[in-house]
């Protein structure tokens, strides 16, 4: 009897696992190496990656590990208050978004020769990849990027760079910020698409997934984050100014603070004077205005569906920051090409799957009751 019970329990667990897998909920498995497509040869941009450590750490340590030069970049990417202390504690398994520069080459995007890591005695490439950098890369990728002939023969004291996956490609004709998202256990393409306001079809095709069920917990998913519309000129040193929703970014030697807050219908980047001391070689921030009394960020007129704003358009190396009076759309714009076409079909297919598995489960329950 108890033997039979055990058997039935094993069966039920198996059925439950099959059920869970069939609705596209992720379960942990061996992770493939992430390679994000980046077809715009030599393009550079800012990109984002998730990072999570099994040990507790601080924002400062994370900034150091990833070579984030400006602490405000790390705060802005996580929408933390700009006065957050750098000893801010990060708990084990807490996910922090890390900004880094990306470069496309040979149809693949990788971090542009950062982060740099100094090998310490006892390190192995595998431990650097899996432990220090939390599996964001595989040791083979580090080996190739650094042209290390023998992965088992690395030299303590040598400095290597860690090629994080990223991309600068527009998606569906729109500028986005690519975000290497560590797929959380129990999430699905549907939940991730919903969370970041992206179509499921876009996520699937961008990541070469032909089936949402193939998503694995812990894998790195290329999530193209929608960014706010800005008036940035293509010759500005910070072009393309990609600021995703619910983040902020200090630019023009930190003289300008831009934030993207797409709650409601306003999807425009909002920039204003930061009132900080400039970084790098600017001694003082230039005045930030459109005319005598109209300062950067000031609204001069509003309409039912638009408004005139003194907007940021870029900066140059000669301590110039340019502005313009821009007309911004403040009403809902139909998202171009982000219709959920295709998800309807897959959803009904999923329903079929769930029904199937439920029937199987019911059969096993009947068997279970019978055995009792």
Cis peptide leading into residue 240 (ω within 30°): yes
**Least distance from C-beta 149 to ligand NAG, angstroms?**
8
Closest approach of ligand NAG to the CB of residue 317, in Å: 4
- For residue 205, state whether it binds ligand NAG (rule: CB under 6 A): no
Site for ligand NAG in 156-195 (CB under 6 A): none
Name which of 73, 89, 80, 112 is nearest 254 in CA terms. Answer: 73
Residues 215-254, interacting with ligand NAG (CB under 6 A):
229, 231, 245-246
Residues of this chain, 71-110, that bind ligand NAG according to CB under 6 A: 85-87, 106
Degrees to nearest 5, angle at CA 330 with 329 and 335: 75
Q: Which is nearer to ligand NAG, 47 or 330 (CB)?
A: 330
Note whether 30 and 137 are within 8 A (CB).
Answer: no
Binding to ligand NAG by residue 197, rule CB under 6 A? yes
The distance of closest approach from Cβ of residue 205 to ligand NAG in the complex, given in angstroms and rounded to an integer, is 19
Q: How far is the CB of 353 from ligand NAG (least distance, A)?
A: 29
What is the C-alpha to C-alpha distance for residues 73 and 357, in angstroms, rounded to an integer? 47
- Shortest spacing between CB 33 and ligand NAG, in angstroms: 12
Query: Using the rule CB under 6 A, is 283 a contact of ligand NAG?
Result: no
Q: How far apart are CA 223 and CA 205, in angstroms?
A: 11
Reduced 3-state DSSP string for 121-134: CCCCHHHHHHHHCC
| 3-state secondary structure at position 286 | coil
Least separation in angstroms between residue 350's CB and ligand NAG is: 24
Q: Residue from 53, 78, 111, 207 that binds ligand NAG (CB under 6 A)?
A: 53
* Separation between Cα atoms, residue 142 and residue 245, nearest integer Å: 31
Q: Is the peptide bond before 359 cis (omega within 30 degrees of 0)?
A: no
User: Which residues make Cβ contacts (< 8 Å) with residue 181, sequence separation at least 6?
Assistant: 50, 192, 220, 221, 222, 223
The 8-class DSSP code of residue 212 comes to G
Which of 132, 138 has the CB closer to ligand NAG? 132
Task: Write down the least CB distance from residue 344 to ligand NAG, Å.
Answer: 21
Candidate residues 9, 64, 155, 341; the one interacting with ligand NAG per rule CB under 6 A: 155
Taking the CA atoms of the chain, what radius of gyration do you get in angstroms?
24
CB 273 within 8 A of CB 288: yes
Quote the CA–CA distance of 216 and 277 in Å, as a whole number: 45
Least CB distance from residue 201 to ligand NAG, whole Å? 17
Identify the CA nearest to 356 among candidates 21, 8, 7. Answer: 21
| Residues within window 285-344 making contact with ligand NAG, judged by CB under 6 A | 295, 297-298, 316-318, 320, 326, 329, 333
Of the listed pieces 17-25, 115-123, 184-192, 273-281, which binds ligand NAG according to CB under 6 A? 273-281
Region of residue 239 (left: phi > 0; alpha: psi -120 to 50; beta: else): beta
How many residues comprise the chain?
Answer: 372
Nearer to ligand NAG, 8 or 247 (CB): 247
Separation of alpha carbons 253 and 248, rounded Å: 15
Stretch that binds ligand NAG, among 5-13, 150-158, 160-168, 348-356 (CB under 6 A): 150-158
Which of these segments, 18-26, 52-60, 113-121, 213-221, binds ligand NAG (CB under 6 A)? 52-60
Decide whether 51 or 100 has the Cβ nearer to ligand NAG: 51
Binding site for ligand NAG (CB under 6 A): 41-42, 53-55, 85-87, 106, 131-132, 150, 153, 155, 197, 229, 231, 245-246, 262-263, 272-273, 280-281, 295, 297-298, 316-318, 320, 326, 329, 333
């Amino acid at each position: 009897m108890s033997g039979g019970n055990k058997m039935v329990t094993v069966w039920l667990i198996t059925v439950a696992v099959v059920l869970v897998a069939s609705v596209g909920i992720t379960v942990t498995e061996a992770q493939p190496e992430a390679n994000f497509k980046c077809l715009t040869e030599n393009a550079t941009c800012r990109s984002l990656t998730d990072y999570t450590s099994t040990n507790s750490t601080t924002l400062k340590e994370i900034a150091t590990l990833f070579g984030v030069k400006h602490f405000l970049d790390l705060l802005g990417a996580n929408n933390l208050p700009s006065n957050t202390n750098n000893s801010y504690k990060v708990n084990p398994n807490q996910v922090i978004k890390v900004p880094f520069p990306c470069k496309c080459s040979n149809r693949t995007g990788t971090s542009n020769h950062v982060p740099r890591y100094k090998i310490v005695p006892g390190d192995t490439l595998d431990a650097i990849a899996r432990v220090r950098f939390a599996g964001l890369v595989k040791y083979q990728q580090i080996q190739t990027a650094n042209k290390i002939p023998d992965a088992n023969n690395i030299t303590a004291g040598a400095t290597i760079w860690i090629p994080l996956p990223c991309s600068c490609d527009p998606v569906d004709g729109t500028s986005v910020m690519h975000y290497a998202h560590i797929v959380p256990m129990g999430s699905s393409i549907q939940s991730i698409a919903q969370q970041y306001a992206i179509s499921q079809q876009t996520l699937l095709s961008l990541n070469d997934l032909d089936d949402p069920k193939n998503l694995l917990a812990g894998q790195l998913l290329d999530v193209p984050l929608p960014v706010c519309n800005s008036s940035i000129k293509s010759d500005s040193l910070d072009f393309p100014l990609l600021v995703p929703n619910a983040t902020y970014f200090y630019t023009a030697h930190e003289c300008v603070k831009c934030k993207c807050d797409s709650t409601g219908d306003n999807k425009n980047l909002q920039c204003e004077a930061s009132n900080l001391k400039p970084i790098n070689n600017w001694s003082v921030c230039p005045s930030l205005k459109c005319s005598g009394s109209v300062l950067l960020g000031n609204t001069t007129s509003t309409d039912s569906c638009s408004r005139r704003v003194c907007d940021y358009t870029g900066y140059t190396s000669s301590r110039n920051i340019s502005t313009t009076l821009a007309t911004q759309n403040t009403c809902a714009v139909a998202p171009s090409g982000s219709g959920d076409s295709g998800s309807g079909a897959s959803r009904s297919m999923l329903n079929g799957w769930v029904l199937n598995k439920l029937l199987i489960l019911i059969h096993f329950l009947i068997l279970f009751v019978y055995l009792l």
